[in-house]
Amino acid sequence: MIQSTELRIGNYCLEDGKMYQVTLADFYNMHKDDGANRLQPIPLTEDILIKCGFVVIDGTNCHRLKNDICDIIVYPSGHIELWNDIETIKINTAIKYLHQLQNLYFSLTGNELQVNL
């Protein structure tokens, strides 16, 4: 189950085992308890990262996404590093699910992460 406080409109999750994009109505249903257990998180897998535009870093199990602001590196543990020309920032909390990655990307760039499911 995903808490409504973890989601934004447009996040992807699972509904009845199928990919689903969150809408405003979902928040209403969550607060009524009609849909509280309906939405499940999508685990971050190599396939999901590649569908988000990440590429495998040669010789590693890590994935990188380049954008105008920084490079985002995702390690197999789910830990993330942000790289730019000046510094490296390590995020000590593991990102385990697609909606968490979408929210982090939006917070960093102000843009939606392109997900091609």
Distance from C-alpha of 106 to C-alpha of 93, rounded to nearest angstrom: 17
Distance from C-alpha of 15 to C-alpha of 54, rounded to nearest angstrom: 25
What pTM value is reported for the model? 0.86
Cβ-in-10-Å burial (0-12, 13-18, 19+) of 90 comes to exposed
Sheet holding 18-21, edge to edge: 18-21, 12-15, 39-40
Each residue's pLDDT expressed in tens, for the chain with a length of 117 residues: 888 889 999 999 998 899 999 998 887 777 776 555 678 999 999 899 999 999 998 888 899 988 777 889 999 888 998 887 788 888 888 899 999 999 999 988 888 999 998
Unique residue bearing structure tokens 């009609």: 34
